[in-house]
Structure formats: C-alpha cells, structure tokens
Amino acid sequence: MSKLGNLGARLYRGEVGYDFVGKRKIWYGISILITITAIVGLAVRGLNMGIEFSGGAVFNTPATSVSADQAKRTAEDASGHPAIVQKLGDKTLRVQVSDLSPEQSRTAQEALAKKLDVSVNKINTDIVGPSWGDQIANKAWTGLVIFMVLVVIYLAIAFEWRMAVAALIALVHDLTITVGVYALVGFEVTPGTVIGLLTILGYSLYDTVVVFDGLKESSKDLTKQTRFTYSEIANRSLNGTLVRSINTTVVALLPVAGLLFIGGGFLGAGMLNDISLALFVGLAAGAYSSIFIATPLVADLKERDPQMRALAKRVRAKRAAAAAKGESAEQEPQDAEFGDEPEDASPAGVVPQSDTRSRGGRGRPSGKRR
C-alpha cells in the first residue's frame, strides 16, 4: 500500500490526524481576509461584463495579414470603446466591442473594412442588445436562488438545519471568492462564466456532504457516552475523509488546469478561459471550504445545543477525574452504548494514539480484560 494509502487508513481509524475543528478561528480569520479582498476587488475594479450582458457588437473578419493590435486600435478609434481582439487559427480576427449602438457598430465595421482593404460586406457583424443580456443575468440569478433553496431544504431533511446553514455559508464563500478573482484578474464575464459558476456549486457541496454523512453516522447516540465531545467527533469524521477529499479535488483540478493554462493561456482560446477560471477557482475554494469552513461551523453551531454543552461538561469532568488519578481518560473502557468503535480509538488531533500503553507491564492495552 502506498504511503498516501497508509496515511488515509490511519486517518480513517483515528490513529493520526490534525485538529481542524480546534483551530477553526484561524481558518475563519483566513476566510474572512480572502473574502474581504474579493469584495474590495469587486467593488474597486468591478466585473468585465461581456457583450452578452452589456450589449455591443462582434466583428468577424476574413483571413488577413493585419495584426490583432492594429485591428484593436482601429476598432477603438472608430467606436470610442475598448475592444477585445482574438486571432483565430485560420488567420481571421474576432473583434468584440461592448456598449455599442447600431450607428457606432456601423462606423466600426466600415473602419475595419478599410483597414483590411476589403468590402464592408466581408466583415460579418453580430449586434447584441443589452436586453438579451439582462434576460441571461435574470435567469442565472433565478437558477442560483432556486439551487440554494433546494440545497438548504435537502440538507435540512437529510441531515439537520445546522448542516444546511453551514453548507449555505460555504457556498456563498466559494461564490464570493470566485467572483472576486474574476474582478481582480479582469477576465470577461460571459455565459460560459455563468455555466462555470453554476457547475462549481455541485462540486463545492460534494465533499461537504461526504463529511456530513460520516459525521451523522459517528454522532449517533453521542450523548450516551462521555469520551468525546461533538467537536472531537466532527474532527474525527473530517480527518477520516481528508485524503479522499484531496484526491477527488486534485483529479478534478488537473483537467481544468489544462483548459485554463494550456487551452486559454498558450493557445489563446478565450472561451476556455471564461469557464475554466470559474471552475478552477471554484473547485479549489470548494475543497477549502468543505474542510476548513463547513464542518467547523457545524461544530460551532452544534456545541451551542444544551445537550452538547452538558456532554462537553461531562467529558471535561471525566478527564479531570482521570488526570487527578494520574490516568488517561482514554484508557477507560468504552461505553457500551456508543457504537462498535475500538476501545483504543481517539479523535484525530485530540489525543495521540498509542498501542504500547499497558498496566502492570504485561504489554496489554488497558481497558476491558480479555
């Protein structure tokens, strides 16, 4: 078995781990800082809306020796608006100018035809009105709201309302970061961007639901024992799925990175940039939020429950009593009511595991006698 496989097995059994939940204030601080940066970038720079949303014109030229820079300057001088020019593989040009009226579009078309020394009819022009972009934006917002509502309802029924709230906060966190990166980078927002944003919502929920499902199973009859608090069980569940979450995220990010850096960067395929940047940032943010935001938030909300407060008090009292006797609370026999968990198991990041502890020097773990 590979080292990563061994690590995953040990994490799952609770033999090793990291206290994600215990250090949640650090992750909250990092997330708040990133989110504020994204919001400031969005407020200062704004989004570079494509013509599908702002209206404008797209000019497709025949094969030409005119460079993209020359065509760009010609279109901007004629229209008075910034232009985006792409040189396609067949030596044709795609010139895109936003916020153009029909009259301005005609002027830009004539200027391009003159520069390329071709007939005006050779310049194919597509004019997009802003009303069509408004329809796309409204449908995108409608789809987003419906998705959020359905997610909250499903998680509240399948798990509980605290998990639904945590998942919703994680989703908003991922969307805010992705949109903020778009503003900072200056990539154009197109329908492909909207598709990417809606797609990452499912990926963002995937790891979160996996952890929540494990947490739901682990926390059954939790109040009938006095070994672990809810936060410790949540941390154990998170560590148990950590390697799986990392593996699935890396596998998903590799092809998206290929689209973004090779297809969009080296090959200059602008449409690939639109969707791949949203997917890349969203997948990375979703993996981060499922580990560092969603589960710690559930633990925070759950620990406010009176039953969980009482449990935490009993656990602390038991550990204090064991410490006074010079023993470890984890050496006590496991409560019979709390699942089939091995008696030497402990929550990851809470109590280090040891198979060599014994009483009387007989080399046998303390606890139940066999």
Q: What is the pLDDT of residues 176-229, one digit of tens each?
A: 998 888 888 877 787 778 888 878 877 778 778 888 888 888 888 888 888 888
pLDDT score of 297: 93
Mean pLDDT score, 232-253: 84
Both tokens of 277, joined, read: 């940047």
- In this prediction, residues 303-329 reach a mean pLDDT of 84
Q: What is residue 340's predicted lDDT score, i.e. its pLDDT?
A: 41
CATH number of residue 60's parent domain: 3.30.70.3400
The amino acid sitting at 90 is: D
CA distance 295 to 211: 8
- Average pLDDT for 257-281: 70
One domain, residues 106 and 144: no
Inter-residue contact 223 to 307 (CB < 8 Å): yes
Task: Write down the residue that tokens 């003159």 correspond to.
Answer: 114
Taking only the tens place, the pLDDT of each residue in 224-237 is 888 888 988 888 88
Q: Which of 2-6, 40-44, 111-115 has the lowest mean pLDDT?
A: 2-6
Q: Is residue 335 part of a domain?
A: no
Q: Is residue 179 part of a domain?
A: yes
For residues 210 and 204, the answer to whether their CB atoms sit within 8 Å is: no
Which of 245, 274, 302 is a domain's end point?
Answer: 302
Query: Cα separation of 306 and 299, whole Å?
Result: 13
Percent of the chain with pLDDT over 70: 79
All residues at 6 or more sequence positions from 265 whose CB lies less than 8 Å from its CB, including other chains: none
Q: Find, among 305, 280, 322, the residue nearest to 219 by Cα.
A: 305
Residue 228 domain-assigned? Answer: yes
The answer to whether 173 and 256 have CB atoms below 8 angstroms apart is no
Q: What is the pLDDT at residue 271? A: 60
pLDDT above 50 (res 325): yes
User: What pLDDT does residue 31 have?
Assistant: 92
Tens-digit pLDDT profile for residues 332-345: 444 433 444 444 44
Q: What is the pTM assigned to this prediction?
A: 0.70
Residue with tokens 């602390």: 316
Say whether both 199 and 284 belong to one domain.
yes
Q: Answer with the one of 69, 101, 128 that is the final residue of a domain.
A: 128
pLDDT tens-digit map of 72-92: 888 888 888 888 887 776 678
Domain count, the chain: 2
Kindly provide the residue ranges of all beta strands, DSSP E only, lying in the chain, ordered along the sequence: 48-49, 56-60, 83-87, 93-98, 124-128, 188-189
Residue after which a domain boundary falls, among 273, 302, 331: 302
Residues 89, 14, single domain; the answer is no
Give the CATH number for residue 298. 1.20.1640.10
Instruction: Tell whether 146 and 124 lie within a shared domain.
Output: no
Pseudo-torsion of CA 100, 104, 106, 107, nearest 10°? -140
SS3 letters across 26-89: HHHHHHHHHHHHHHHHHHHHCCEECHHHHCEEEEECCCCCCCHHHHHHHHHHHHCCCEEEEECC
Quick one: pLDDT band at residue 357, thresholds 50, 70, 90?
Answer: very low
Find all residues with CB under 8 Å of 87, minimum gap 6, and list them: 67, 68, 93, 268
User: Residues 43-69: what's their mean pLDDT?
Assistant: 82
The domain in which residue 77 lies consists of 56-128
Which residues, in sequence order, are CB contacts of 78 under 8 Å at separation 6+?
107, 108, 110, 111, 112
φ, ψ (nearest 5 deg) of residue 85: -120, 135
Cα angle for residues 90, 104, 84 (degrees, 5° grid) = 40
User: Which pLDDT value is given to residue 35?
Assistant: 92
* Same domain membership, residue 270 and residue 159: yes
Give residue-wise pLDDT tens across range 5-22.
566 566 656 566 788 888
> Domain check: are 222 and 274 in the same one?
yes
Judge whether 369 lies within some domain: no
